[in-house]
Amino acid sequence: PVEGGACAAVFEVELLKLRAAECIDEAAERLGALSREIWSEPELAYEEHHAHGYDALPGIGHACGHNLIAEVGAAAALGVKGALESLPRLPLPVKVIVLGTPAEEDGGGKIDLIEAGAFKNLDVVFMAHPSQENAAYLPDVAEHDMIVKYYGKASHAAAYPWEGLNALDAAVLAYNNLSALRQQMKPTWRVHGIIKNGGVIPNIIPSYSELIYYFRAPSMKELPVLTKKAEDCFRAAALATGC
C-alpha cells in the first residue's frame, strides 16, 4: 500500500517508468552495438555460439529481428533494474534474468527451455517481438509443421516416360490442391510451404520429392481440422500419380 491513496500510487508508477526509460537511454549506445553484433553474425538453430540464443534463417539472416529482440530484452532488464534500485526499499528481494532462447526459427527453443526447467521459480516472464504495429499483446497461434515425401520411380523422360512414376508431379499437385483449398479456409488460418526437393536432372523422371509446410490456426481445437484437410490434399496427389 502506498501512502496518499490511489493518486500517489499512480504518480509513483509514472516515476518508476521515467527512471526505467532513463536507464535505457543511458545504455542506448551499448544496446545498439549488441544488436548490430548479433546481426552481423547470424547463426542457425542449435548452432548458436556467438549469441546467447536468437537464431537466424539460412541464406537470409535475422529476418525476424531476433537481434532486436535481444536488444529489447537487455534494455528491459536494465530499465527494471534501474527502476527497482530507485525505490527507497524493496519489500522482497528481486532477481531479474535475461534469458536468450535458442532455435526459435527451427526447433521450438522455448519448449526445450521449459523441459530443462529454465522457467521454474519465475513469477513473471515478458518477451518482445518486432511487428508492423505497436501492440502490448500479439495473438498466439497453434502451429504444426509437416514434412511430406513422395516416392515414385525414375525413368528416362524421353525414351521411356511411361515406365516412371513422377514424384515431382505429386509435389506440384499437392501444392495446387492446397492452393485450391485456400478458398474454403477461414481467414484466421495460415498455410505456407515450399517444395524442397523436386528432382535431379530434367531428362530423368524424379523418383523423389519433398515439401515442407507450416499450418497455423487460432487454437489447438481448430488446428487438427486444418491439418486434416491438408493431409487429404497430400494423399490425393499421391493417389493421382501412383506415388
Closest residue by Cα to residue 167 from 88, 71, 238: 238
Range with the lowest mean pLDDT among 126-135, 162-171, 185-194?
Answer: 126-135
From residue 214, alpha-carbon distances to 144, 188, 237 in Å are 6, 14, 18
Element (H, E) at 96: none
Prediction pTM value: 0.72
What dihedral angle (degrees, nearest 10) is formed by the CA atoms of 178, 192, 218, 60? 180
Query: Any idea which architecture 142-241 has in CATH?
Result: 2-Layer Sandwich (3.30)
Give the mean model confidence (pLDDT) for residues 45-71: 91
The 10s digit of each residue's pLDDT in 72-112 is 999 999 999 999 999 988 778 899 999 998 998 887 898 89
User: Residue 147 and residue 194: Cα distance in Å, rounded?
Assistant: 10
As beta bridge partners, residue 13 has none
pLDDT band at 4 (very low <50, low <70, confident <90, very high): low
Q: Where are the domains of the chain?
A: 3-116, 142-241
Q: What is the pLDDT of residues 158-188, one digit of tens each?
A: 999 999 999 999 999 999 999 999 999 999 9
**64 three-state secondary structure:** coil
List the grid coordinates of 102.
535458442
Question: Alpha-carbon distance 164 to 160, whole Å?
Answer: 8
**Average pLDDT of 120-130?**
89
Residue 61 has pLDDT above 70, yes or no: yes
